Amino acid sequence: MKKIVIIGATSSIAEHCARAWNRQTDVHFILVARNIKRLESIVRDLKVRNPRVKVDCCSVDFMDASAIQNLADDIAKEGIINVLLVAHGALPDQNEAVKKIWLIRESIEINAISPVLFAEAFASHMISANSGSIAIIGSVAGDLGRKSNYVYGSAKSLVEHYIQGLRHRFAGTDVDAIIIKPGPTNTPMTAHLNLEGQSLASVKSVAEIVVQGIDQKQSSIYAPRKWAFIMFIIRYLPNWLFNKLDI
C-alpha cells in the first residue's frame, strides 16, 4: 500500500491529486490540515471513490516548527512514507499587499516558511529510510519577479531554491525532491481575481500532471506543461524588453 502524506489537504489541487492517486491503486493517505473538520467531506469522498482506501487525518499549527517536527516524527514512526506533498498556500492581492506590508509577511510565512518547515521535518526521516519523494507546490510565479505578483512569486521562489538544495543533499540516495509549478489554475484561491479573458487550467488536469510527474520522479513539474516553454522565453528576455511588458 502506497503511503502518501498531504499537507494542506483541503487545497483544491491537493484534493484533486488525492483523487488521482486514489484511482490508481490502494493508497493510505495521511491528510494534514489546519482545520480537521474541513477534511471530513474530503475523506468521505475518497472512500466512495475507492472503498479500499485508508485515510487518516490530523491537524497542526502550520507555523509552529516544533509541532510540525513532532507530527513528522509521529507519522514516520508508523513506517515508510512514499510521497510527501506539501500543497498549502495563499494568493495575496499584490496591490493590497504593497499598501499593507504586514500582508507581505503573512504571505511569505504561509507560502515559503511553512512549506519549508514541513519538508525539512520529513527530510531526515526519508533519508534514514532511503526512499520517498518530497514534492512542494510552488508556482510559475516563482520563476521570476513580476510587478503583478512578486510578493507571492518571491515566496514561491524561496521554496524552489530550498527544493534545489534538498535535491543536492539527496544526491546519492533514493529520495527525491520535486518542485511543482502550476500556471494559473481554476481554484477557489484564484476565484476572487478578475482573470477574465485568461484561460485558467482546470484543477483536474493540473492534478493529473502533478501526480504523473511525482510518480515518475521528475525534479520539476510545470502544469500545464506549456508553462515550461513560456517561462523559458520570459526568463531570457533582455531587461529593456522585459521591463516594458505589462505582466
Partner 1 sequence: MKVSSWGNIENEDHNCVFINSTRPDLSKLDRPILAYGMGRSYGDVCLNPSSTLIRTESLDRYIDFDIESGVLTCESGVLLRDIQKLMIPQGWILPVSPGSQIVTVGGAIANDVHGKNHHVHGTFCDHITNLVIVRTEGDVLSCNRTENSGLFYATIGGLGLTGVIVEATLQLKKVAGPWLETETIPYYSLDDFFQLADMSESEWEYTVSWIDCFSPEGRGVFSRSNHTSKVKNEPNQKNTLVMPFTPPMSLVNKLTLKPFNKLYFFLNSLKKGKRLMFYEDFLYPLDHIQNWNRMYGIKGFYQYQIVVPHKNRKETISKILSEITRSKQGSFLAVLKTFGNKKASGLLSFPIPGVTLALDFPNLGVTTLELFNRLDDIVGSVGGRVYAAKDCRMSKEMFRIGYPLIDEFESFRDPGISSALSRRLLGS
- Nearer to partner 1 by Cβ, of 197 and 238: the residue is 197
Closest distance to partner 1 from the beta carbon of 41 (Å): 5
* Grid cell for residue 240: 529593456
Closest distance to partner 1 from the beta carbon of 11 (Å): 11
- Nearer to partner 1 by Cβ, of 49 and 105: the residue is 49
Per-residue x/- mask for partner 1, residues 10 to 39, rule CB under 8 A?
Answer: --x---------------------------
DSSP H helices, 90-188, are: 94-99, 102-108, 114-129, 150-170
Instruction: Name residue, grid cell 485568461.
Output: 198
* Grid cell for residue 168: 543536492
Contact 230, 184 (CB under 8 A): no
Distance CA(103)–CA(142), nearest Å, equals 18
Neighbouring CB atoms inside 10 A of 226's CB total 11
User: 85-104: which residues touch partner 1 (CB under 8 A)?
Assistant: none
Distance CA(125)–CA(110), nearest Å, equals 23
Binding residue count for partner 1, defined by CB under 8 A = 12
* Grid cell for residue 27: 493508497
Closest distance to partner 1 from the beta carbon of 109 (Å): 23
Per-residue x/- mask for partner 1, residues 172 to 211, rule CB under 8 A?
Answer: ----------------x--x--x-x---------------
- Nearer to partner 1 by Cβ, of 41 and 219: the residue is 41
User: 35-74: which residues touch partner 1 (CB under 8 A)?
Assistant: 41-42, 44-45, 48-49, 51
Closest distance to partner 1 from the beta carbon of 150 (Å): 26
- Nearer to partner 1 by Cβ, of 70 and 199: the residue is 199
Strands (E) located in the chain: 2-7, 27-33, 54-59, 83-86, 132-137, 175-182, 185-186, 201-202, 220-223
What is the binding site for partner 1 (CB under 8 A)? 12, 41-42, 44-45, 48-49, 51, 188, 191, 194, 196
